Structure 1
């Protein structure tokens, strides 16, 4: 089994663990309190919730598998496969909600799985660099930063579904950045020697990785809390791989090699992923009352 094959297995394992963690986090964020709370207050309340920590532990296993996958495969490959987390969340969420998975949900699930398989096989993603220059990251921040700030401002000025969507965009984008930073950190992870530890601790991406992870977690919980899961979950699930894959190309120089006739099929598969992800997320969302953030 080659490195790319191992990366596929690890990415699918990451998708499974993250799906379980997301389902637990969704319920915890909605049930932690009936009172209106801000982003910071919500996060602090969740830090005292045992069920939230259970979900975080499961999600951490997913992040570990994702990191291992990124150490062996491209961001394009790993992020495309992480979309399949909804395939695992679908039956789990349905069972916890005491409902049956509908025929249409299974149809969308099959379409999603098929589209991801097309992207991975036809797209033939290849690895690029493992680290970007400071100038490149400054340019990314200059473009992405104002967009995320505007989304947060819009989320604060709105409520319900719109607030959940805008906050979900921020969270998904941050997790996309997190994936690219994870690849850099993993390739500099060497705890077998003092020199390796020193090199890791002197890597600026390590500290950016930690900050982005915290911000991604806090905005994720705020998105879950802001409104219906039918608004927050599809947004985050679609935004993360889109931003992660875009940065994989722009920042790390990764490429897709579908061949001359494969681009049409690849574009069709990408559109199918977006549509099927949104449809599945709406189907798996539980009937929880939206809360005010």
Structure 2
């Protein structure tokens, strides 16, 4: 048990480090999505402009470091544990955004920040998440994709028809869902990392999770920037921030067989903590987005 506990502790530490880097990357990406151009542009055109923006690349490099720490954490701990701790990226983004906007963090924001921290602590300690298998079966993935792909298609189609906040929310929902899927796929890829022999490298290159991971990352990035551009960040960021851990947690249970292990009394505390986490995350994300300044541009 000692080895398992040590691995979980290290996974938690790596996840918190990932949250810091992700927070920095998000703050930079949010600002550049609006500052890169004043013209109304489509999803692909926006991404192409951002690819020529040095500050956006700086944010991408910082976020990549965060993803690396997240992958290391997923190699040691459960998706439920890591994703719960990654939500705390908002706690780090809050003072960063406030400093860039030349303002102070309000008492209301600190209150939500404390509630978020407490709820995450309760989920981890009371929920006691267990580690499942690293990879899901083809049958389970088939069912998941049969549900997820049409849902994503509806979100993107709706975002093209509608405009403003509704469009931003739909794109953010699609992006958050993909990043949640990204976390589950990352665990499968990390489990197969073995560069000590050509057989290990060959096995990784034959892994369907590797190519799915790349495709999901591209889609998540495109729709993330498009959601930032489609409307106010107060519409896109809360949706995205809440959708990612929710989708990742559901998939970790359905695909990887992870679970929470509270006692009978703990289930009540766990449900309350999850509700508080979702509400606090949305409130903090809304406040962070508002501080960044958001000129609304049609996509």
Which of the residues 152, 163, 167 maps onto 1:159?
163
Matched residue, 1:199: 203
Per the TM alignment, residue 198 of structure 1 is displaced from its structure 2 partner at its CA by: 0.5
Tell me if 1:289 matches 2:261: no
Matched residue, 1:76: 80
Matched residue, 1:115: 119
Unaligned residue ranges in structure 1 (runs of 5+)? none
Tell me if 1:182 matches 2:183: no
Per the TM alignment, residue 192 of structure 1 is displaced from its structure 2 partner at its CA by: 1.9
Which of the residues 43, 50, 58 maps onto 2:47?
43
Matched residue, 1:279: 283
Per the TM alignment, residue 263 of structure 1 is displaced from its structure 2 partner at its CA by: 0.6
Per the TM alignment, residue 284 of structure 1 is displaced from its structure 2 partner at its CA by: 1.3
Tell me if 1:17 matches 2:21: yes
Matched residue, 1:135: 139
Per the TM alignment, residue 158 of structure 1 is displaced from its structure 2 partner at its CA by: 1.2
Per the TM alignment, residue 195 of structure 1 is displaced from its structure 2 partner at its CA by: 1.1
How many angstroms apart in 1 are the aligned matches of 2:294 and 2:223? Answer: 19
TM-score (norm 1): 0.99
Which segment drifts farther, 273-282 or 61-70?
Answer: 273-282
Which of the residues 16, 28, 31 maps onto 1:27?
31
How many angstroms apart in 2 are the aligned matches of 1:253 and 1:17? Answer: 29
Matched residue, 2:222: 218
Per the TM alignment, residue 110 of structure 1 is displaced from its structure 2 partner at its CA by: 0.2
Aligned partner of residue 291 in structure 1, secondary structure: coil
TM-score (norm 2): 0.97
Could you report, residue by residue, the CA deviation over 1:57-91 in whole angstroms, capped at 9, with x for unpaired residues?
00000000000000000000001111101000000
How many angstroms apart in 2 are the aligned matches of 1:258 and 1:7? Answer: 20
How many angstroms apart in 2 are the aligned matches of 1:266 and 1:57? Answer: 35
Which of the residues 62, 68, 79 maps onto 1:64?
68
Which of the residues 266, 269, 281 maps onto 1:265?
269
How many angstroms apart in 1 are the aligned matches of 2:142 and 2:206? Answer: 19
Per the TM alignment, residue 287 of structure 1 is displaced from its structure 2 partner at its CA by: 1.9
How many angstroms apart in 2 are the aligned matches of 1:99 and 1:59? Answer: 24
Could you report, residue by residue, the CA deviation over 1:68-119 in whole angstroms, capped at 9, with x for unpaired residues?
0000000000011111010000000011011110000000000000000000
Aligned pair count reads 293
Report matched runs for 1:229-248 at 5 Å: 229-248=233-252
Which of the residues 45, 51, 57 maps onto 1:53?
57
Matched residue, 1:171: 175
Tell me if 1:146 matches 2:135: no
Could you report, residue by residue, the CA deviation over 1:140-170 in whole angstroms, capped at 9, with x for unpaired residues?
0111111111111111111111111110000
Aligned partner of residue 2 in structure 1, secondary structure: helix
Per the TM alignment, residue 291 of structure 1 is displaced from its structure 2 partner at its CA by: 1.0
